[in-house]
Amino acid sequence: MVNPDEFKSKIEGMVSQDYKIEFLGDNFKKVAEQISEMYAEKIYSWITEVIQKKIPPLYIGSEKKYKNWKIRELLTFRHAFTIGNSEYRILFVKVKNSIFIEFHLGDHKYYDKIRKGLGMKQGNL
């Protein structure tokens, strides 16, 4: 199982930017502790592909504000996975042509709350 602080540090190192990413989730630490080292490597590979622009983002053209940005200025990357019988989601949020701002890790209930805030609740995003 992964150490949540080491998990965060590895992701920050992969992104390599001056802006500090926020790691968010109602039970971030608890969920991270359930991730096996082997699955963590899959998450790191997914992050590498996101950084290398090999994975397309979810894009919402909304003028609604989300923190310091309009939603249309953000790109969101989604990764779903299961541990045991529980489903989890990662949402990795980036400002277009700029910095990564958030890494969300949580269960489906948390995911629904965040995607609503990001204007992604409509449809199957």
Q: Residue 16: inside a domain, yes or no?
A: yes
Domain extent, residue 109, equals 4-117
- pLDDT for res 13: 95
The answer to whether residues 16 and 91 touch, using CB atoms and an 8 Å cutoff, is: no
Q: Residue 124: inside a domain, yes or no?
A: no
Residue with tokens 């969920």: 31
Q: Residue 90: inside a domain, yes or no?
A: yes
Q: Residue 102: inside a domain, yes or no?
A: yes
Q: φ and ψ at 113, to 5 degrees? A: -65, -45
As for how many domains the chain has, the answer is: 1
CB atoms within 10 A of CB 118: 21
- pLDDT tens, residue order, the chain (125 aa): 999 999 999 999 999 998 999 999 999 999 999 999 999 999 999 999 999 999 999 988 889 999 999 999 999 999 999 999 999 999 999 999 999 999 999 998 999 999 888 887 655 55
3-state secondary structure of 65: strand
Q: Which distant-in-sequence residues (6+ apart) come within 8 Å of 35 by Cβ?
A: 1, 2, 7, 43, 83
Q: φ and ψ at 90, to 5 degrees? A: -115, 130
Q: ∠ CA 125-8-3 to the nearest 5 degrees?
A: 110
Q: Give the predicted TM-score (pTM) of the model.
A: 0.91
